[in-house]
Each structure stands twice: as structure tokens, then as C-alpha cells.
Amino acid sequence: MDHQVHIIGGGMAGSEAAWQLARRGIRVKLSEMRGSGERTPAHQGDGLAELVCSNSFRSDDDEKNAVGLLHHEMRQCGSLLMAAAEKARVPAGSALAVDRDVFSAEVEAALAAQPTLTIVRERIDILPETGLTIIATGPLTAPALAGSIGAMTGADSLAFFDAIAPIVYRESIDMDVAWMASRWDKGAEASLAMGGDGRDYINCPMNRAQYLAFREELLAGDKTEFKEWEASTPYFDGCMPIEVMAARGEETLRFGPMKPVGLDNPHWATAEHPNGRWPYAVVQLRQDNKLGTLWNMVGFQTKLKHAEQVRVFRTIPGLEQAEFARLGGLHRNTFLNSPTLLDRQLRLKSAPHIRFAGQITGCEGYVESGAVGLLAGLMAAAELTGQDWPAPPRTTALGALLAHITGDAEAESYQPMNVNFGLFPPVDASIKKKVRKEAYTGRAKQDLAQWVPALP
């Protein structure tokens, strides 16, 4: 069949993109290397949209939860993944969990039934030079294709290892304990040169006893282990886990990410020291998105298990009530520096016939991957039919996720991210915190209802 769109990768994103195109009568070729004698280290079978880790799509609550809202929005857009998940659903309380074998079989059967879709079991090693293409090969992209992507985008624009530091919601930081300042170094100078005030970081202070106790918690905390296929990936200085640094010596963190140089704490001011006193150690947080709602814990990439991260990091002064938009991690991955490389329609700026979708764009999670695949499919459909692309409202989960990937995130610190309310434009500050989540979802649903009829 003479295809109009070539999709490479039959995971969550590729399957959803193929569905959105084929159901509109567009001729699609979907290439998936599993089933051709090839398999990734993480997959167990050859089925499309195989769930390689958890069988959960997380919360299905679309009133108070960002990922539940994303479920709702995908359903409104005719998502295959959401329809298949409903058929494969298993009891999981308020979460959407599935029988992974039934789910994959439902997706593959629905795609195979599309008359304009051809599924080809083959490995693609080189980016196509012409023709509309969607790359949806995920975090375990085969080495040859990853090399081809790297050659086209530049070596510094394609990561092969996640070193993820936790991200905290700004409103959950206690600013009666923390304060804004930069160290006496080039960072503050650069801020001033760019028109800032040199107070670009949130600082959480520790005295000596607090620091030593915190270090002991890092060392004793329960940690995850590398999977067998990740074990050969070495640490390097730019992504060393905070607990590994702590194990190198009592003072290592104080001369690394927790150095207190030049940071007078105004909350500790006295008559003798009106500018404050220097803490023994400081945890710094750096703004992570343009909205200023999310702040990254600088240098705190970690292999601590998620529950341990919440427990240990809430012992940091100023973070006792911290709410986390993302917890830390360290694992093998392949993803683009999308804010630099992709335009607002997920097209590679240097080769606009190529779109990227799914986790390779830097989203995190099954649902987010499928959502970006859905958007890529809709964008390609609009392009092929000569229609203007109606970008999803920034206030929706789809719009917030797309904006984060394609420009709102800080390119220098870009890392994979789940959907969360910190990506959305803030709601009215007068809305009480206990009903703020409902305000986000209500606004999103209202705006989505105006958007869906304009889709191609």
C-alpha cells in the first residue's frame, strides 16, 4: 500500500497515532521491530502497545487529578488506548488498571481491522529522508536508529540516561524557612546580566546537626537497583546520585550541591548579624518552568525509592510539607531535548517532515506517551488534509503537556515529566487550596469542549 504517513514504533504513542490517522481514512504504515526477530531488553512479547512495567494508568479521577483529567480528554478525542483500557479493566479502586495481555490484544485487533493501515514487522535503522514520518520508538530506541537521530539532531540533544531530580510545587515550600538568593558565583552574575536580580534560587538552610542527620538518612534509605540491562550504564559526574556523593565522605555534599558559600540566611538575622548567618549546608531549588510553579532540587538525582524520597526530603528545612510534581530517578533512557529541537507541532525543526511522539519527546508515563501520540496523529491529519491545526488550549492537560515539551520547559534542565497541575497556567489565586484542583479540571473541561469540534 502506498502510505501517506510512516509511523516507526508500535508502543503506546505509535499505536495511538496510527489509530487517529487510520480512522480518518489516511493510509498508514506502522513499523514495529518486535516480531521481526528483534526485541528490546524490557519487552516480553511482540504485541503492540505492550505494557512493560506497571499495569496501571494511574488515577482515573478527572475531578482532582491531572492524569485522570488527561484520561477524560483522550476519551473525548476518541482514544483507542482509553477504549482498550476500558475493555481490559481490572479492579483497582479509583485507578485505571488493566489486564496487560487483554489490553495489548485489543489495541492490535483494532488497528489490524483498519483498512487503510498496514502493520509491518521490521526494524528501521535510518530516519527517512522524505515523507511524513512519526518516530515513536520510546525510551529503548534501537541503537542504530538512535544513532541516526543523534546524527541529525546533534550529540548534545539526545540523552541516553535519565538523571532525574525531584520537582517540588512552589506553593508547598515554606518561605518562612527558605529564602531567595544565589551563591556568590557565576550563576548570580549570569542572572544579573540577563536582567534578573541575582536571587534566582530557593534556599533551604541546615545547621550542622541537621546536615549530618540528613546525610545519614540518605545513606540508610531504601534504594532501587539497576535492571540487568541497565547495569552496564556507568555513573558520570553530571548525574551522580545524591546518596552516592554522600557516601564519598562527610563533607562531600557541602562542597558539591549543598555548598553554602555566599548564602546569608535572613531568617537567622540578629542585631549582631543583621544580614543573617551562613548555614552549614543549603539545599537549592531552581525554577523548572516558565510559570514558576515547579522548582527542581538541584543536584538531587537519586536511586532512593519513591516513598523514601518523600520521607527523607521532607526532613529538609522548608520542605516539611513539600508536594512533589515528580520524584527522582536514574535509569537508561533515550529522549530528545524537545524544547530546543521540536516546533509546536512536534516536528523536527531541521527536518519538518519528521514528527516525534511519546516518551522519546520527554514525557513520562503510559498515558502521557499515548496522549502525545494522539496529538501527533491529529497534527499529521490536519497537515495532510490542508486544515489549520487548532492547538489544544493551554489550560487543558493535552495543551499543558504539549506546551511543556515544545517550549515551556527550561531546555538546559529538560528531563522527562508526568502531567501535573504545575504545568498548567495557574488558576485565580483567590481560589481556596482545597478546591483548587477542581478549578483546574473544571476550566480544562470547559475549554476542551470548545476545542474538540475543531479537530480534523
Instruction: Tell me what pLDDT residue 191 has.
Output: 47
Cell digits for 136? 515513536
Give the contacts of 285 (CB within 8 A, at least 6 positions apart).
168, 173, 178, 201, 202, 203, 204, 295, 296, 297, 298
Annotation: binding site: 9-14
Q: Are 68 and 368 in contact (CB under 8 A)?
A: no
Instruction: Tell me what pLDDT residue 140 has.
Output: 78
Q: Are 267 and 203 in contact (CB under 8 A)?
A: no
Q: Number of folded domains in the chain?
A: 2
CA count, 13 A, side-chain hemisphere, 256: 20
Q: With a threshold of 0.85, does the pTM exceed it?
A: no
- Whether 18 and 41 share a structural domain: yes
Instruction: Tell me what pLDDT residue 56 has.
Output: 84
- Whether 92 and 18 share a structural domain: yes
- Whether 262 and 359 share a structural domain: no
- Whether 67 and 214 share a structural domain: no
* Strands of 337-442, DSSP E: 347-348, 351-356
Residue that is written with C-alpha cell 545519614 in the block: 216
Pair type for strands 89-90 and 95-98: antiparallel
Instruction: Tell me what pLDDT residue 1 has.
Output: 55
- Whether 152 and 179 share a structural domain: no
Whichever domain contains 257, its CATH number is 2.40.30
- Whether 102 and 238 share a structural domain: no
- Whether 267 and 340 share a structural domain: no
User: Which residue among 277, 300, 327 closes a domain?
Assistant: 327
- Whether 444 and 343 share a structural domain: yes
- Whether 185 and 283 share a structural domain: yes
- Whether 283 and 349 share a structural domain: no
Instruction: Tell me what pLDDT residue 105 has.
Output: 95
Instruction: Tell me what pLDDT residue 234 has.
Output: 45
User: Which residue among 292, 327, 362 closes a domain?
Assistant: 327
Instruction: Tell me what pLDDT residue 425 has.
Output: 95
- Letter for the amino acid at 365? G
N-term to C-term CA, the chain: 23
- Whether 15 and 153 share a structural domain: yes
Whichever domain contains 362, its CATH number is 3.50.50.60
As a dihedral over the C-alpha atoms of residue 306, residue 372, residue 427, residue 447, rounded to 10 degrees, the angle is -150
Alpha helices in 385-435 (DSSP H): 397-403
pLDDT tens over the chain, length 456 residues? 589 999 999 999 999 999 999 999 999 999 999 877 776 655 567 899 998 766 789 999 999 999 999 999 999 999 999 999 999 888 777 889 888 889 999 999 999 999 999 999 999 999 999 999 999 998 778 889 988 998 998 866 666 555 678 999 999 999 999 999 876 644 445 444 444 556 788 999 999 999 999 999 999 999 877 555 444 444 444 557 899 899 999 999 999 899 998 888 999 988 776 767 889 999 999 887 878 899 989 889 888 999 999 999 999 999 999 999 988 877 666 789 899 999 999 999 999 999 999 999 989 889 999 999 999 999 999 999 999 999 999 999 999 999 999 987 777 778 778 999 999 999 999 999 899 999 999 999 999 999 999 999
User: Which residue among 290, 310, 327 closes a domain?
Assistant: 327
User: Which structural domain, as residue segments, surrounds residue 123?
Assistant: 5-162+332-454
Annotation: binding site for FAD: 9-14
- Whether 323 and 361 share a structural domain: no
